[in-house]
Amino acid sequence: MAKRSRQSTDRSATIHDQKLVRGNGGELHQIAGGDTEVLTTAQGGPVADDQNTLKVGQRGPTLIEDFHFREKIFHFDHERIPERVVHARGYGAHGFFETYESLAAYTRADIFQRAGERTPVFVRFSTVAGSKGSFDLARDVRGFAVKFYTKEGNWDLVGNNIPVFFIQDAIKFPDVIHSVKPEPDRAFPQAQSAHDNFWDFISLTPESMHMVMWVMSDRAIPRSFRFMQGFGVHTFRLVNAKNESTFVKFIWKPKLGMQSVVWNEAVKINGADPDFHRRDLWNAISSGDFPEWELNLQLFDQDFADSFDFDVLDPTKLIPEEVLPPVPVGRLVLDRMPDNFFAETEQVAFMTQNVPPGIDFSNDPLLQGRNFSYLDTQLKRLGSPNFTHIPINAPKCPFHHFQQDGHMAMRNPVGRVNYQPNSWGDGPRESPVKGFPTFANPEEGQKVRLRPESFADHYSQARQFFISQTATEQRHIVMALTFELSKCENPVIRERMIAHLLNIDETLGSAVADKLGITKLPKPADAAVPPRDDLLPSPALSIIENGPESFAGRKVGVLVSPGADAALLKRLQSAIEKEGAVMEVVAPKVGGVEAADGSWIEAKHMIDGGPSVLFDAVGLILSEEGAERLAGEAAARDFVADAFAHCKFIGFSDGALPLLERAGVDPKVDEGFIGLDSPKSVAKFIESCRRLRLWSREMAVQL
Ligand code: HDD
């Protein structure tokens, strides 16, 4: 295998070290010299000329004898592998999981036995519907898949940032996914649920209503992977050494709190920086600001399951935190980006069936179906049953088996023995003591294709989710549904959806109908069982109610102009950094500006490349003359107008007033504008930013 040190891939170093020689046709050859490695073929043969194919004469035909050319093009032609059929666009990072306390009372899983134990992990976040090259801020579910390399084999917790799912039975998975993907005849829309096929399927699938509420909420447009929750969704089992089982739901909670963007902002981010979430994770980890989540467990027994309002095997239901408080059991820290995206993030293969002894499945029919699909799909994607030989997928604990051969086998059993039992005394043996003990749950019944009656309530938890949202979040749900359904060309689909929404919440249904111009409300949809209205709101379901305590991990974009107050900028920067946040300077020109005191202010962005949608709050440190000049630029006016419309906090120097005025915003309108010139104002600005957004402004802005 080719070995290249990190240093030798640093192109600037190699360019400086090496000699550039001009060839006959004027092309440049970068020649190895000194200690630099010689370029080789994949077979290890040294290469003399990587700029020209082998020809007969200077202008003659190319020779098939040119093995270097053929190998290089052959390999290039085969570089692509099929993208994941869902969750194609994703981004991953390495880290560790640290167990807080022993959970031996509940599980024999080795990872949970010792306080302080650290287990290496690889995590991949993703969107579901879009292709590999789609944009990050699609309105979509986010995947949250964690591979724990435990001492008893890999454990994959393949979850989402939403605790419920669209369907109750895995046999419907191809249908829900076909419906959301680009329509098959026209091959659009890309990475969008706003089209007829999706809403047609949804409106004919009442079990999806709870999930639809989540997907139309701000959860589906997170500000960052770092500010999302994650959920294992299904009920799993923990099994202890005495073979006692406890049901469990897994929840990840971000240390930095939750945060989402607004839709108008998401649309603009997709244009300004389609890699917004990737870049955010890359920047945070590369700068040592390691994102962290706590793993929480909801633990319960059969009695709780029997007495709970819904069936714990139904993946369209959750257990409210207020009913069963989650217990933090460990923390996940992401502290290293992959060396190579393809080798690690693209080739990582998550599989729900990867569980260590002590963690087991429930009969959730979605989970049972997933346990088939994930193994199957890896063969298609990675091309060989030996995908576990790829380093990112290989266990980090010792492993021994007799599986052999197949495409791309990197390791085979050594010696004579490749079977057991055998008489040679060699090779691994099964262990009833250490091996995976499937929990012996008593099962009996007739073979049937039936949906359990206990799965029939499709609206009550959808309503509970809706009434648990703040007024702002409810408004976002109304706007999202209106936007999505406005893209459906078939009016029957819109009306069918309104009929469902009326079962969830009458005000929701009528508000969406009104915005869609439907004057006569349809009858509420026929419900398999009557929707309940006695479920209490669960405040844990709101993002706004569960925001962060500080502004740490967030980013302020500060627009500066020539003649800006450098001392004020410095004060602002140190306050932002003290809070654990980041400041980036935006200037009219690449490079920066000269401040009033003659010093140079370095800028990271030019105004066109650094719109305010990329930041959580903005600062305007401008001289009056600079502000007047910027007021003539659309990008500068948008910088201010968007920050205002997206309810961001805006700190400004007095000099910025001409720009604010031309952008059509009055800094006296609300407390979201903080003048930065007075002595305590920088501290006040940071304090305000901790609220993330001034939501009360939203009604005035009417986004
Ligand atoms: Fe799935 C990928 C999460 C239902 C079949 N799924 C995939 C990934 C995540 C999830 C995060 C990306 C993993 C990665 O980053 O490589 N899927 C879920 C959740 C579900 C769910 C939380 C419901 C609770 N999935 C589900 C069902 C099926 C699948 C019901 C099929 C019966 N999922 C797949 C798949 C994928 C996949 C086709 C595509 C790529 C892959 O597995 O490795 O097998």
How far apart are the C-alpha atoms of 231 and 360, rounded to whole Å? 16
Identify whether the C-beta of residue 580 lies closer than 8 Å to the C-beta of residue 553.
yes
Whether 136 and 16 map to the same domain: the answer is no
Contacts of 610 by beta carbon, 8 Å cutoff, 6+ apart? 557, 584, 586, 604
Order of strands, sheet of 555-560, starting from the edge strand that comes earlier in the sequence? 605-606, 582-587, 555-560, 617-621, 650-652, 673-675
Whether residue 646 lies in the annotated active site:
no
Separation of CA 374 and ligand 1 centre (Å) = 7
Last residue in a domain, options 500, 523, 544: 544
Asked if the structure places residue 697 within a domain, the reply is: yes
**AA identity, residue 300:** F
Which letter does DSSP use for residue 671 in this model? T
Both tokens assigned to 108: 């024999």
- At residue 6 the predicted structure's pLDDT band, cuts being 50, 70 and 90, is very low
Asked if the structure places residue 272 within a domain, the reply is: yes
Q: What is the ipTM of this complex?
A: 0.99
CA distances to 43, 50, 119, 518 from 9, in Å:
20, 17, 30, 60
State whether the beta carbon of 132 lies less than 6 angstroms from ligand 1: no
Separation of CA 591 and ligand 1 centre (Å) = 45
How far apart are the C-alpha atoms of 169 and 129, rounded to whole Å? 19
224 closest CA partner among 598, 568, 653, 543: 543
**AA identity, residue 185:** D
Orientation of helix 506-515 relative to helix 471-486, angle to 10°: 50
Last residue in a domain, options 389, 419, 434: 389
Average pLDDT of the residues in 90-113: 98
Average pLDDT of the residues in 202-224: 98
Asked if the structure places residue 415 within a domain, the reply is: no
Average pLDDT of the residues in 521-547: 97
CA distances to 13, 88, 184, 210, 661 from 197, in Å:
52, 20, 10, 19, 45
DSSP string, 150-209: EBTEEEEEEEESSSS-S-SSGGGHHHHHHHHSPPTTT---TT---SHHHHHHHHT-GGGH
The gap between the terminal CA atoms of the chain, to the nearest Å, is 55
Both tokens assigned to 605: 């962005």
- At residue 612 the predicted structure's pLDDT band, cuts being 50, 70 and 90, is very high
Last residue in a domain, options 360, 389, 418: 389
Averaged pLDDT score across all residues of the chain:
96
Instruction: Provide the pLDDT for residue 678.
Output: 87
Whether 502 and 569 map to the same domain: the answer is no
- At residue 99 the predicted structure's pLDDT band, cuts being 50, 70 and 90, is very high
Q: 3-class DSSP state for residue 663?
A: coil
pLDDT in tens, 406-465: 999 999 988 999 999 999 988 999 999 999 999 999 999 999 999 999 999 999 999 999
Whether 106 and 252 map to the same domain: the answer is yes
The residue contributing the CA closest to ligand 1 atom 15 is 124
State whether the beta carbon of 145 lies less than 6 angstroms from ligand 1: yes
pLDDT above 90 (res 91): yes
Whether 31 and 117 map to the same domain: the answer is no
Average pLDDT of the residues in 91-112: 98
Whether 45 and 14 map to the same domain: the answer is yes
Asked if the structure places residue 434 within a domain, the reply is: no
Indicate the burial class of 27 (C-beta count within 10 angstroms; 0-12, 13-18, 19 or more). exposed
Q: Compute CA 529 distance to the chain's CA centroid, rounded to the nearest angstrom.
A: 35
Bridge partners for 558 per DSSP: 585, 619
Omega before 189 within 30 of 0, i.e. cis = yes
**Total domain count for the chain?**
4
Whether 53 and 94 map to the same domain: the answer is no
State whether the beta carbon of 170 lies less than 6 angstroms from ligand 1: yes
Both tokens assigned to 456: 């029939």
Asked if the structure places residue 448 within a domain, the reply is: no
How far apart are the C-alpha atoms of 124 and 349, rounded to whole Å? 10
State whether the beta carbon of 371 lies less than 6 angstroms from ligand 1: no
Give the CATH number, domain containing residue 70. 4.10.91.20
Instruction: Provide the pLDDT for residue 135.
Output: 98
Give the CATH number, domain containing residue 468. 1.20.1370.20
Bridge partners for 620 per DSSP: 559, 652
- At residue 703 the predicted structure's pLDDT band, cuts being 50, 70 and 90, is low
Give the CATH number, domain containing residue 191. 2.40.180.10
Separation of CA 160 and ligand 1 centre (Å) = 9
How far apart are the C-alpha atoms of 173 and 364, rounded to whole Å? 14
Whether 470 and 617 map to the same domain: the answer is no
Identify whether the C-beta of residue 118 lies closer than 8 Å to the C-beta of residue 182.
no
User: What radius of gyration, in Å, describes the C-alpha atoms of the chain?
Assistant: 29
The residue contributing the CA closest to ligand 1 atom 23 is 165
Contacts of 118 by beta carbon, 8 Å cutoff, 6+ apart? 96, 97, 98
- At residue 18 the predicted structure's pLDDT band, cuts being 50, 70 and 90, is low
Whether 382 and 507 map to the same domain: the answer is no
What stretches of 442-573 adopt beta strand conformation (E)? 555-560
How far apart are the C-alpha atoms of 13 and 7, rounded to whole Å? 8
How far apart are the C-alpha atoms of 259 and 23, rounded to whole Å? 56
Lowest mean pLDDT among 9-13, 67-71, 553-557: 9-13
Backbone φ, ψ for residue 682 (5° rounding): -65, -45
Task: Find the DSSP H helices in 6-131.
Answer: 11-17, 67-77
* Annotated catalytic residue, options 68, 87, 458, 646: 87
pLDDT above 50 (res 224): yes
* Annotated catalytic residue, options 160, 161, 197, 503: 160
Instruction: Provide the pLDDT for residue 17.
Output: 56
pLDDT above 90 (res 75): yes
How far apart are the C-alpha atoms of 559 and 536, rounded to whole Å? 46
Residue range of the domain that includes 612: 553-701
Whether 57 and 148 map to the same domain: the answer is no
Orientation of helix 681-689 relative to helix 566-578, angle to 10°: 40
Instruction: Provide the pLDDT for residue 4.
Output: 41
Contacts of 423 by beta carbon, 8 Å cutoff, 6+ apart? none
Whether residue 243 lies in the annotated active site:
no
Instruction: Give the β-pairing of 605-606 and 582-587.
Output: parallel
The residue contributing the CA closest to ligand 1 atom 4 is 370
Whether 108 and 221 map to the same domain: the answer is yes
Identify whether the C-beta of residue 145 lies closer than 8 Å to the C-beta of residue 156.
yes
Give the CATH number, domain containing residue 589. 3.40.50.880
Instruction: Provide the pLDDT for residue 615.
Output: 98
- At residue 697 the predicted structure's pLDDT band, cuts being 50, 70 and 90, is very high
Whether 137 and 286 map to the same domain: the answer is yes
Asked if the structure places residue 452 within a domain, the reply is: no
Identify whether the C-beta of residue 306 lies closer than 8 Å to the C-beta of residue 77.
no
Lowest mean pLDDT among 24-33, 576-585, 640-649: 24-33
pLDDT in tens, 125-168: 999 999 999 999 999 999 999 999 999 999 999 999 999 999 99
How far apart are the C-alpha atoms of 674 and 672, rounded to whole Å? 6
Annotated binding site for heme: 84, 124, 173, 370, 374, 381
- Positive or negative CA dihedral for 222, 194, 504, 303? negative
Asked if the structure places residue 652 within a domain, the reply is: yes
649 closest CA partner among 680, 615, 604: 615
How far apart are the C-alpha atoms of 161 and 141, rounded to whole Å? 7
Whether 674 and 567 map to the same domain: the answer is yes
Backbone φ, ψ for residue 362 (5° rounding): -105, 180
Instruction: Provide the pLDDT for residue 16.
Output: 55
Asked if the structure places residue 455 within a domain, the reply is: no
State whether the beta carbon of 562 lies less than 6 angstroms from ligand 1: no
Both tokens assigned to 442: 């008593």
Instruction: Provide the pLDDT for residue 11.
Output: 41
Identify whether the C-beta of residue 179 lies closer than 8 Å to the C-beta of residue 200.
yes
How far apart are the C-alpha atoms of 599 and 262, rounded to whole Å? 37
Separation of CA 641 and ligand 1 centre (Å) = 40
Identify whether the C-beta of residue 30 lies closer than 8 Å to the C-beta of residue 24.
no
